[in-house]
Chains A and B, each alone.
Chain A
Amino acid sequence: MTATVADAPAAPVSGAPIPPKKWGAAIALGVIALLSLIFFGFGTPAGSTTRFVIARKTDFIQLPSLTVPSELAAILLSLVGLALAGWVAYRANQRRKVGIWLPIVYGMAIMGALLTWAGAGREATSIQLTGLLTSSLFLAVPLVFGALAGTLCERSGIINIAIEGQLLAGAFLAALIGSMAGNAYAGLIAAPVAGALVGLLLAIFATKYWVNQIVVGVVLNMLVVGLTGFFFSTLMSDDPSLNQPIGLEKLPIPLLSKIPVLGPVLFNQNLLVYILYVAVAVLQIMLFKSRWGLRVRAVGEHPKAADTVGIQVNRTRIRNTVLGGAVAGLGGAFFTVASGLAFGKEMTAGKGYIALAAMILGRWSPRGALAAALLFGFADALRVQLGAIGSPIPSQFLAMTPYLATIFAVAGLVGHARPPASEGIPYKK
């Protein structure tokens, strides 16, 4: 018996379960590619062209814009999507998975078909690729911070529904302090404090009083909506100097920002976006490679096991929830000082909940959170762009796309993603 133990997991035992073939992904991708072929491919007027603008006039390196025959391009791109769906089916038949490249290439193909169709035959307008990518990243910023906050909390076992409230609190305090100091950076420093306070409340109710974490989270969201709304309509409207539209200036990074297409998208941003890059990288490494990360994950999976090796379960959870709140609060600064806007009532508009979806789609990892948030940001940016060029799709439907994407993403594509085993369960000795 002993001799077989080391290789036991790999060795097929009689009666060992064979995982069933999973066709869901292949079918979903195939159906979408087929619809794309029918609507975007054959639905494009023959003979028309679509113009993609790759560089902006202000860019350092000017690239010529790209004009393609719309129908042919849309059909080809849809066929690429169909082929990829076929590949997924082929792999599923062998019970094997596909690489991360596939959904990315697939998404680009179908999105390309959609853009080609939308821009077909509009000589006066063109598809602004750089602009699309820039606004994708821009719109993804609060989602990334929110999803990082969720990841930090849930990895330690606390469900953080209050991300929405933490974003809103961060946005409010950033605007208030920034306006008072007359300096947007002061707002940037204040934002995480507001989020951390909301996180602290959540942590106390969750670990000391064992209140249902989802209920507390929703209540905290309501509380922040109420409080910020109150101060907005009293304090801020009495003295408009307390709510000024001040913004963080862009800090282009020398050389890097000159790279065509990606340069201006990634490296001509304000400080908050650079903090985002660092936060994702640092948290990814810390969570999976550091002592702190190992302990946090142990607490979220099996708190009693962590306790029996001398790790303070509730202290870890409180610390993580406060830290998560601070991260979400920082993300809240996006809405005010990072966008150059004054604070407005409920201006976060549900982004905190979409951030939760990004966290799940990103499988509770910072890297995944970034990718998922970018996807949602892209869907949002697409809506804006298509609305601007006057696409045939009603803008209400476009406005729904990120939320539809969320439902599909959360329900279907991550069926196998496993949340931390002990999330939402208070640790009682």
Chain B
Amino acid sequence: MKLELRGITKRFGDFTANDRIDLVVEPGTVHALLGENGAGKSTLMNVLFGLYDADEGEVLLDDEPVVFDGPGDAMAAGIGMVHQHFMLVHPFTVAENVMLGHEDVRGPAKLLDVEAARAKVREISERFNFNVDPDAVIEDLPVGAQQRVEIIKALSRDASLLILDEPTAVLTPQETDELLGIVKDLRDAGTAVVLITHKLREVQAVADTITVIRRGKVVGTAEPTASQEELASLMVGRAVTMRVDKEPAKPGETMLEVDGLTVVDAAGIVQLDDVSFEVKAGEILAIAGVQGNGQTELTEALLGVVPTDAGNATLDGEVITGRTIKEVLHSGIGFVPEDRTEDGIVASMTIANNLILDVHDKAPYAKGGALQPKVIADEARKHVEQFDVRATGIDQTTGSLSGGNQQKVVLARELSRPLKLLIASNPTRGLDVGSIEFVHKRIVAERDSGAAVIIVSAELDEVVALADRIAVMYHGRIVGIVPPDTDRDTLGLMMAGAHDEEEAA
């Protein structure tokens, strides 16, 4: 099936997410839609899939204009979509998820024909060698298998055009390679595939055609033979360096020592399993791993948000586990949470107030129980300038800032205390390239000023670029700690749980 988009425009209020986008996808090809986070790729596909109504423009299938009222229409027309956040009902089995929305029924009572759904799952699973059990419950499956269930879901309703939205964000490098193999098989079977991504390696590996989107506009097309630097500059709009400039680390005394830290969550599941490591002053320890392998629990346990069940952590000789969050913060820890809109800022409060969240009860910001607006405003102006926060003023609500500027506010607050340890979780997630460079620079500067730094990142590129040492986590354990020049395949295997003996560095 041939898909054509003509002049698609989608606005959210004043913001134009898609600006007159044209796109043609030929059957039996892989069309990569390349762009930074927030460039408007997902919006475009949601328009195509019927989740959003386009303000202007039209969609043509095999040269016939079509209008989709909802995802149901899009699927009926042969379009399948694998969303970035999987659309799977967790307590359901694979077969139930696959049949949902177009269930076969049998018998006089018209009850569900589960056997038919099972057969369908088995058939597709065998055809593409997916190895998915139709009776497995989704929440028991690893992420890679869940993604294959999503693909089965699309194929089970005869999708001849498959949209994959950032499909590799949650996969290990090996799972990514497998997925790209599947994409090639699908293409060879005649399916048109739209691959939405910001990862250049994947594009080069499978794409037949590349369309680059920047700020809601198509800025060009490229051949798959184009170099990474060419693609990146097209995507970002200027020449970019693919690495972080930093001097070799000069590690000092051991600053943070974590010994046997264990966290069991409310449901009785061990989230952090006997984790021990140390970080020296003036070095960056990056924690790599697929999302959800205990990284969040580790950082939150160090801060004291999550209660620990065993083990302890000492910062510069002082035990920090079992103390209040306030005490931990003021003992010299800076914390950049992984979800800045949820945990990093109070969106409805002004920039100035967000900047003093941690010290609002201390002089000179408060005196005799009353806030000192003048002091707070002066301090805020200083920070806004220092951290290059682009805002109309310090009284703008933080929620109305762009992601990059919100993150700068968080950094400005957390770095304004004298730090012995900086913990940053996915500090550049969802940021534009300019902001990423800025954040990286500040983190390296903090290291160079003698603080110990822990970076958690799901992006292997970021880990490799920033780390002085890399710790890989899997299922709540640290699989190994390796030097930053370890090759990606080894790191990938470790992220999938393979034990690594070379505990170097």
Residues of A within 8 A of B (CB): 1-3, 5-9, 13-20, 22, 285, 289-291, 294-295, 297-298, 301-302, 304-311, 418, 421, 429
A17-B269, A302-B88 known; A309-B71 Cβ under 8 A: yes
A6-B133, A20-B264, A306-B101 known; A290-B110 Cβ under 8 A: yes
Alpha-carbon gap, A5 to B145, bound state (A): 7
A13-B475, A297-B89 known; A6-B132 Cβ under 8 A: yes
Of B102, B141, B475, which contacts A8 at CB under 8 A? B141
**B51 touching A5 by the CB < 8 A rule?**
no
What sequence of 0s and 1s flags, for each residue 124-163 of chain B, a beta carbon within 8 Å of any chain A beta carbon? 0000011111001100111011001000010000000000
Residues of B within 8 A of A291 (CB): 103, 105, 110, 112
Q: Is B83 an interface residue (CB 8 A)?
A: yes
Residues of A within 8 A of B292 (CB): none
**A310 touching B101 by the CB < 8 A rule?**
yes
Interface centre among B87, B269, B273, B475 (most CB of A within 10 A): B87
Q: Give me 30 A-to-B residue pairs in the complex whose CB atoms sit less than 8 angstroms apart, sorted by A's number.
A: A1-B144, A2-B131, A5-B130, A5-B131, A8-B145, A14-B477, A14-B497, A15-B273, A15-B475, A17-B264, A20-B264, A20-B268, A285-B111, A291-B110, A294-B112, A295-B100, A295-B101, A302-B87, A302-B88, A302-B89, A306-B101, A307-B71, A308-B83, A309-B71, A309-B102, A310-B71, A310-B72, A310-B75, A310-B102, A311-B72
Smallest Cβ distance from A315 to chain B, in angstroms? 11
Output the nearest chain A residue to B136 by Cβ-Cβ distance. A9
A5-B144, A9-B136 known; A15-B476 Cβ under 8 A: yes
The 5 A-B pairs of least Cβ separation, nearest first, read A310-B72, A309-B101, A9-B140, A15-B475, A305-B87
Residues of A within 8 A of B101 (CB): 295, 306, 309-311
**B88 touching A9 by the CB < 8 A rule?**
no
Of B97, B109, B141, B477, which contacts A9 at CB under 8 A? B141
Residues of A within 8 A of B91 (CB): 301, 418
**A308 touching B132 by the CB < 8 A rule?**
no
Smallest Cβ distance from A94 to chain B, in angstroms? 16
Alpha-carbon gap, A80 to B240, bound state (A): 77
**B96 touching A294 by the CB < 8 A rule?**
yes
Q: Is B90 an interface residue (CB 8 A)?
A: yes
Residues of A within 8 A of B273 (CB): 15
Residues of A within 8 A of B175 (CB): 1
Residues of B within 8 A of A8 (CB): 140-142, 145
**A305 touching B144 by the CB < 8 A rule?**
no
Residues of B within 8 A of A22 (CB): 268
Q: Is B174 an interface residue (CB 8 A)?
A: yes
Smallest Cβ distance from B207 to chain A, in angstroms? 23
Residues of B within 8 A of A305 (CB): 86-89, 97, 100
Alpha-carbon gap, A310 to B129, bound state (A): 28
Identify which of residues 451-495 in chain B touch chain A, using a CB-to-CB cut-off of 8 Å.
474-477
Smallest Cβ distance from B179 to chain A, in angstroms? 11
Smallest Cβ distance from A321 to chain B, in angstroms? 20
Identify which of residues 423-477 in chain B touch chain A, using a CB-to-CB cut-off of 8 Å.
474-477
Of A13, A294, A307, A429, which contacts B99 at CB under 8 A? A294
Alpha-carbon gap, A297 to B97, bound state (A): 11
